Amino acid sequence: MLAIVSEPGFSLEELQLAARNHGLPLETLRDAITPVGLHYLLIHFDIPQVDAPAWRLRLGGRVERPLELTLDELRARPAHTHAVTLECAGNGRALLSPRTVSQPWLAEAIGTAEWTGTPLAPLLEEAGLLSDALEVVFTGLDRGVQGGVEHAYARSLPLTEALRADVLLAYAINGRPLPSQHGFPLRLIVPGWYGMTHVKWLAAVDVVAEPFRGWQQEDAYKIHRSEDDPGTPVTRMLPRALLAPPGIPDFMSRSRFLVAGPCALVGRAWSGWAPIERVEVSIDGGARWTDAALDEPLDEYAWRGWRTTWDARPGEHELCCRATDAAGNVQPAEAAWNTGGYCNNAIQHVQVTVS
């Protein structure tokens, strides 16, 4: 069902998706916590209209005691808050060549919010997992057609991930109830994983004994290096650093203009695999690199601020930044191609004219 194209022009279908879904304006990388209206959003189908008093979370399947909970009951349970960075697995897709036709992100499909909710694991324990429990399936209220198949958006997690202490059923963002576009009344938060994992408008949690084969699990979000490759699932975020472009922009090209002199360069870096250990900056398109200073960590799975001072000299410059995590993962100059256009964490390039 995938269309893969080589032409430089983007189609009307790609533009329709770009007009609906939106990214973080990169200058707001200056904010450690992203305001709600600036956080990236990818909404596969429509934003459902949810009748909150009638809504229930149903937790069932391979458990001894199925549960049904109201929003008030969930809010009355122990609450945890974590700052968590979310990134769409398709971030960078539009920069791949050839290109997979889907939501055409450049680099802006990111955001970091403070998510508040109740941990999932104690609920699964209360329900009592049966001995054949293998995965947990999360199903949202959003319904549509993708790849020719009508379905409600649903994703599964292996039991070991679902039972992590930091996996939340979140009902608040940045201290306020979830707005409709972020999954009101409830969404899953699995720190460290790409965005497709954090199921919005959550309605059902089902423990299953067989691997889940839903469209968003089996047909989407897999890395296929070629059409014949059976594929491996997309899971945790690869390391990435982004910088807040300095100076002022050109409206159309978004290239930058800057007055010569010392210039503070700031940005954020994250990885779902391990803490960020190093961020390097280049002012010549990646030929030479120098280390940036890292800010204090914000939270275990939140991006990490970094900063350096650039003595900007007149001329044309190409700024880049590159993240390395404690597991040794380094951002590549070019990411390995795959048929879904996922996980393109190639280093960012920002053109700056200094005068």
Q: Where on the chain is the footprint of a second copy (CB under 8 A)?
A: 7-23, 25, 27-28, 30, 35-39, 41, 43-47, 49, 94, 101-102, 104-106, 108, 143-147, 150, 179-182, 245, 248-254, 257
> Cβ closer to a second copy: 10 or 55?
10
User: How many CB atoms are located within 10 Å of the residue 224 CB?
Assistant: 16
With the C-alpha atoms ordered 67, 71, 72, 74, is the resulting torsion angle positive or negative? positive
Burial 323-340 (b: 16+ CB within 10 A, else e): bbbeeebebeeebebbbb
> Cβ closer to a second copy: 124 or 243?
243
> Cβ closer to a second copy: 71 or 109?
109
> Cβ closer to a second copy: 119 or 195?
195
**Least distance to a second copy, CB of residue 131, Å:** 37
State the Cα–Cα distance between residues 282 and 244, nearest whole angstrom.
14
**Least distance to a second copy, CB of residue 65, Å:** 33
**Least distance to a second copy, CB of residue 149, Å:** 10
**Least distance to a second copy, CB of residue 246, Å:** 10
Q: Does an H or E element contain 125, and which?
A: helix 120-127
> Cβ closer to a second copy: 10 or 273?
10
> Cβ closer to a second copy: 127 or 170?
170
> Cβ closer to a second copy: 25 or 315?
25
> Cβ closer to a second copy: 32 or 274?
32
How would you class 132 by CB atoms within 10 Å of its CB: exposed for 0-12, middle for 13-18, buried for 19 or more? Answer: exposed
Beta carbons of 211 and 331 less than 8 angstroms apart: no
**Least distance to a second copy, CB of residue 38, Å:** 6
**Least distance to a second copy, CB of residue 309, Å:** 18
Beta carbons of 151 and 44 less than 8 angstroms apart: no
**Least distance to a second copy, CB of residue 170, Å:** 16
**Least distance to a second copy, CB of residue 24, Å:** 9
Q: Name the one residue in this structure whose structure tokens are 């947990």.
A: 136
CB-hemisphere CA count at 13 Å for 15?
Answer: 4
Q: Does an H or E element contain 312, and which?
A: strand 304-312
State the Cα–Cα distance between residues 255 and 347, nearest whole angstrom.
16
> Cβ closer to a second copy: 45 or 337?
45
Q: Name the one residue in this structure whose structure tokens are 């089996």.
A: 218
Beta carbons of 107 and 242 less than 8 angstroms apart: yes
Those residues whose C-beta lies under 8 Å from the C-beta of residue 174, and which sit 6 or more positions away, are 33, 35, 36, 113, 114
State the Cα–Cα distance between residues 297 and 304, nearest whole angstrom.
6
**Least distance to a second copy, CB of residue 343, Å:** 18
